[in-house]
Structure 1
Amino acid sequence: MDPMNGTPTSTPTRAAEKWFGKALAEASAVERRVLDVALHQKTVAKDAALQADAQRSFGERMADGVAAFGGSWTFIGLFALVIVLWSLVNTELLGTAAFDPYPYIFLNLMLSMLAAVQAPVILMSQNRQAERDRIAAAHDYEVNLRAELGIIALHEKLDALRVDQMATLIATQQEQIALLQRLVEARTPDGR
């Protein structure tokens, strides 16, 4: 039985023509996958984030970790503390023997190098997030398409039930009319 409408099992070709209005060969890979899922009563729901995370390499995991730490209040607080300590050590504590006296040229060099390394790592992490979002959007499309097919199938089942009920009602009504006609014919001519 076709799980979508309760009729005898339909082939993918007939189902594609019925549900998508096109031949199976013209259907996209996503439509064919959803059609297979619908015909075999499988679920399409899956965690897109887990799927994206399973495909990450070591470098991508490291980039995500660096971006997560670099975009946190912990990093900002630690960074501010290091800059304040650097300034205090090189201005107040070491005085004229400071290894990086004001205007802190070595500190500026270190900050520039940190920014030069951190920026591409953050961009890599953003690219990963964009890929994760693309996977989630593709998954959402499949789920929505499957849900739409299910709703259409439910409407068809309700329509079929309504047609069956109407046929039963008409048959019952015809039986009652026939019974009434027999009763009228059986009446005596004097109206009793």
Structure 2
Amino acid sequence: MYEKVGVDRIANLVERHARPGLPIHPQQVLAAARREEAAARRANGWLADHVVAVAGTMAFFHFLWLLIAGWALWQTGFLHNRGFDPYPYSFLFFILGGIMQSLFVPTMLTASNRAAERDRIKDEADHRAWSHLYEVNDAQLELLRSLAARLEALEQRKND
């Protein structure tokens, strides 16, 4: 559901989940759209969203900093370069540079695409909700204008 979709599909999604006569609530539309999604896609999307949410925090940054410092201390301080790794920093940089990048980049892109799609759906629902409110506001203004005109006519009759 969160793949790139056109404006027509988003409008159709919002229209399908809008309740007649009530303003459109974007969170309800998003929840209904999630329920339509396949279970595997929901699980993958949930995992991507949460991995990116954790990886984008300072706690994760501090964890990586402690991991690198611990690795360096373990390999050079305690083992004096006689550990299982004859090149003590190559494995560390292979893990951090290669594997983590190959895992995080697609995960971040997936989470970014999902967030953009949620934003598009929310924007469409917001647009429809605000349009409904403007229509109600216009009807109320027209009613007030007609009441003002009637009051003005009554006032003129009274003065004549």
CA contact (8 A) 1:48 1:132 kept: no
Structural RMSD (CA): 2.6
Write the letter of the residue equivalent to 2:127: Y
What is the CA distance between 1:95 and its match in structure 2?
1.7
Listed as ranges, the matches of 1:159-174 within 5 Å are: 159-174=145-160
Q: How many pairs are equivalent? A: 140
Residue 135 of structure 2, aligned match among 143, 149, 158: 149
Residue 120 of structure 1, aligned match among 83, 92, 106: 106
**Inter-CA distance 139–129: structure 2 relative to 1 (3 Å threshold):** same
Alpha-carbon deviations, 1:132-174, whole Å to 9, x = none?
1111211121122112111211111011112222332344345
Gap runs ≥5 in structure 2: 1-10
* Alpha-carbon separation, structure 1, partners of 2:111 and 2:59: 19
What is the CA distance between 1:81 and its match in structure 2?
0.6
CA contact (8 A) 1:91 1:102 kept: no
CA contact (8 A) 1:90 1:98 kept: yes
> Is 1:90 matched up with 2:75?
yes
Q: Percent of aligned positions with the same letter in both sequences?
A: 29
> Is 1:44 matched up with 2:43?
no
TM-score (norm 1): 0.63
For the residue of structure 2 that corresponds to 1:44, the secondary structure is coil
Larger relative CO (CA 8 A, sep 6+): 1 or 2? 2
Alpha-carbon deviations, 1:84-134, whole Å to 9, x = none?
111111112112422234561111111111111111101111111111111
Listed as ranges, the matches of 1:16-55 within 5 Å are: 41-47=21-27, 51=31
Between structure 1 and structure 2, the one with the greater Rg is 1
Gap runs ≥5 in structure 1: 1-28, 175-192
**Inter-CA distance 62–129: structure 2 relative to 1 (3 Å threshold):** same
* Alpha-carbon separation, structure 2, partners of 1:49 and 1:106: 47
